[in-house]
Amino acid sequence: MTTTAPDSDDAPADESAATTDADADAPLLQVRELEKSFGGITAVDGATFEVERGTITGLIGPNGAGKSTTFDLVTGVQTPDSGQVVFDGTDITGWRPHQAANRGLVRTFQIARELDEMTVLENAMLAPRGQVGENLWRAVLPGVRKEVVRQEEQLREQAWETLEFLELDHLAEEYAGALSGGQRKLLELARVLMIEPEMILLDEPLAGVNPTLEEKLLDRLHSLRDDGYTFLLVEHDMDVIMNHCEPVIVLHQGEVLVEGSPEQVKNDDRVLEAYLGGEV
């Protein structure tokens, strides 16, 4: 297992190495004793859990339980005070978000972060890594220009396919700033899919989404799961969690309180106490 975090913008040379057969049955994500404090307030307090490959795992907890901070620590938005994050057999603790994304681990945010003055299609095309036209000198050199054009055509085709899958293709030429809240959530999912990750952390993807779009988004998540994607989902709607996630992990005061099937979690008195403040 690789344990050295990268010092530069580029990930280690062995970062893209394929998972060995021996590791195929190992959890895709392992979070071990994560801790994070802000000004003396402990947000995450020894959180430890695993996410198996090919699952939609739910992460729930009352307000202030540490869910979003845990997402930040796992994906490099914040650096943990202590603990370890292992993704696909590699220690990625302290990696920056783009380094984690290059490894195959990406996230969405509670508030979508599209580029409002670009079209939906342009937003999707912007996401993939390693584009040859990212450096000006490479984009204008005659010998490289053909490669840039060819890649742009491939990305455009991939973006159209992704937007069609999410039923956003009819909005492809619209500015992202004109989208509804639910459509922005779908576009954010399109952007992360364009990166072709192995695992996606979804932070309240259904907040502000109308029932029709919610059903569409959930259908797409199950289709993607069946295609081999892995999800860790933070969501406050308990019906969504209980009907679409397994297993379910419950955070309380920054640590894992319960982990199990939806039925086990739903009937655990500790979960009721955490949500209702002891009124059980």
Query: What secondary structure does DSSP assign to 76-122, as a single string?
Result: TSS--SEEEEEETTEE-TT--HHHHHHHTEEE--SS----TTSBHHH
User: Tokens 């992460």 label which residue?
Assistant: 59
| Pairing label, strands 29-38, 41-51 | antiparallel
- pLDDT band of residue 15 (cuts 50, 70, 90) is very low
Judge whether 271 lies within some domain: yes
- Contact in structure between 194 and 127 (CB atoms under 8 Å): yes
The answer on 24 and 109 residing in a single domain is: yes
Shared-domain flag, residues 151 and 215 = no
For the chain, how many structural domains are there in total?
A: 2
Query: What backbone phi and psi angles, to 5 degrees, belong to 29?
Result: -125, 130
Same domain as 272, residue 230 = yes
Residues 17 and 109 in one domain: yes
Query: Are 216 and 159 in the same domain?
Result: no
Tell me, yes or no, whether 100 and 123 share the same domain.
Answer: no
Write down the residue that tokens 């029932």 correspond to.
Answer: 211
Confidence of residue 109 (pLDDT cuts 50, 70, 90): confident
> Is residue 257 situated within a structural domain?
yes
Residues 272 and 149 placed together within one structural domain of the fold: no
Per-residue pLDDT tens over the stretch 213-244: 888 889 999 999 999 999 999 998 899 999 99
Residue 192, H or E segment: helix 181-194
How far is residue 75's CA from residue 87's CA, in Å, rounded to a whole number? 10
Task: Note the pLDDT tens digit of each residue in 16-47.
Answer: 443 444 467 889 999 999 999 999 899 999 99
Do 271 and 250 form a contact (C-beta atoms < 8 A)? yes
**What is residue 77's predicted lDDT score, i.e. its pLDDT?**
94
In a domain, 32, yes or no: yes
State how far the Cα of 24 lies from the Cα of 15, in Å rounded to an integer: 16
Q: What is the pLDDT of residue 180?
A: 87
Q: Is position 191 within any domain? A: no
**Average of per-residue pLDDT across 52-73:** 95
Same domain, residue pair 108 and 206: yes
Asked if residue 127 belongs to a domain, the reply is yes
Query: 44 with 31, same domain?
Result: yes
pTM: 0.81
Q: Are residues 202 and 167 in the same domain?
A: no
Asked if residue 109 is part of any domain, the answer here is: yes
Domain that holds residue 231: 13-114+196-276
**Domain contains 30:** yes
Mean pLDDT in residue range 89-115: 88
Compute the average pLDDT of residues 166-180. Answer: 92
Is the same domain home to 149 and 70?
A: no
Q: Would you state the pLDDT for residue 3?
A: 37
pLDDT at residue 183 is higher than 70: yes
Q: Is-contact 123 191, C-beta < 8 A?
A: yes
CATH code, 221: 3.40.50.300
> What is the DSSP-derived secondary structure letter of residue 166?
T
| Residue 187 domain-assigned (yes or no) | no
- As a whole number, the mean pLDDT across the chain is 84
Order of all β-strands in the sheet with 56-60: 105-107, 199-203, 230-234, 56-60, 248-252, 255-260
Helix axes 181-194, 142-165, angle to 10 degrees: 130
State whether 127 and 105 are in the same domain.
no
Query: DSSP character for 197?
Result: -
